[in-house]
Amino acid sequence: MKTQVAIIGGGPSGLLLSQLLYTRGIESIVLERKTKDYVLGRIRAGVLEQGMVSLMEEAGCADRLHEECFVHDGTFVAYGEKMFRIDFKELTGTPVIVYGQTEVTRDLYEAREKADGKIEFNVEDVVINNADTDAPYVTYTVDGLERRIDCDFVAGCDGFHGVSRRTIPADVLREYEKVYPFGWLGILSETPPVNHELIYSNSERGFALASMRNENLCRYYIQCSLADTEEDWSDEAFWDEFKKRIPAHQAEKLITGPSIEKSIAPLRSFVTEPMRWGRLFLCGDAAHIVPPTGAKGLNTAASDVHYLYNGLRDYYENGSSEGIDSYSEKALARVWKAERFSWWFSSLMHRYPDQTEFDLKMQVAELEYLSSNKAAQQAMAENYVGLPY
């Protein structure tokens, strides 16, 4: 087979890139190691920056998003029994959109299928060849049969454990990482939200987050030990602990119910430099990971897609390589700012095992400063709604 862009990974970033390229008449083939049902079964965040929404609009995939999403003009931050609101609309003029990543992925699959886009599932043994030449190609197997795609470029959208980053020689890559000493235990429940906007809560028992997917589907999280397993937490134990970590006036309103999904996610900050090697480009989790605090994971992947899509578009439409040549530099400049925000917000809201009494006092002081200072709130709001591309 032959195509212009081979895309490794059939998650939202790979599908979005493929659909955007399609709108400009640029051919692509998407390779996914799992099934479509498996990809759609993954539970992920659902807070979208306006940049991501604009890309979905440009891809022609935003109709259902606009019909079903929640528009959030702010978010709540709590500590102890105190709670204050960061007003995104007032401070930046821009809201965020709450729409589940699973639904984003579903919309993109539907668009690619409607356009007869080529997606290969259950691929194994993917090897990216000759990425440092003008004639890259990808080999893989499906059902034991070997296949090959010759292409102009390869986009690695295959996540942290994918083959794309490992294709770049070790003496070229530089990796930066921070592993956090806790995880997030999250449950999905068919219950109404405790609040019309998200609540991020710092308590003496650890962090908690009240989020939602729609009017009767909520996602709640608590900070937990990395030694914990899902089996250690019954629904009753989760709800009891969650109530203790949010202000009492919110806990009183909480409607609980059986979990329909429960999982524990470790937290890490990770960045790879560079994000390009020859004709191979890394996108999203293949190049960087952020803690979920502040919901930057999918949104940083979207900004990568923005830079790569426009670089490829300029290459094919105008014969210019300027966009693809500057891809890594532009993407990383924004990624590091998102990393900084997620690191800062995580440091502010969680309890760390080595925190001293002084450290805890500093957390409270910063939260009180944030609650009362407009400039501090504006800086947070600008980062939360998304820095410009």
> Alpha carbon 238 to chain centroid distance?
25
**200 is annotated as an active-site residue:** yes
Q: Assess whether 296 carries a catalytic annotation.
A: yes
Q: Is the dihedral of CA 35, 41, 43, 47 positive or negative?
A: positive
CB atoms within 10 A of CB 351: 17
Residue 161 known to be catalytic? no
The one catalytic residue among 22, 137, 200, 327: 200
**Which member of 12, 136, 291, 292 is catalytic?**
292
3-state secondary structure labels for all residues of the chain: CECCEEEECCCHHHHHHHHHHHHCCCCEEEECCCCHHHHHCCCCCCEECHHHHHHHHHCCCCHHHHHHCEEECEEEEEECCEEEEEEHHHHHCCCEEECCHHHHHHHHHHHHHHCCCEEECCCEEEEEECCCCCCCEEEEEECCEEEEEECCEEEECCCCCCHHHHHCCCCCCEEEEEEEEEEEEEEEECCCCCCCCCEEEEECCEEEEEEEEECCEEEEEEEECCCCCHHHCCHHHHHHHHHHHCCHHHHCCCCCCCEEEEEEEEEEEEEEECCEECCEEECHHHCEECCCCCCCHHHHHHHHHHHHHHHHHHHHHHCCCHHHHCHHHHHHHHHHHHHHHHHHHHHHHCCCCCCCHHHHHHHHHHHHHHHHCHHHHHHHHHHHHCCCC
Separation CA 87–CA 70 (nearest Å)? 15
- The active-site residue, picked from 109, 221, 315, 384, is 384
Among candidate residues 288, 296, 306, 330, the one labeled active-site is: 296
Active site residues: 72, 200, 292, 296, 384
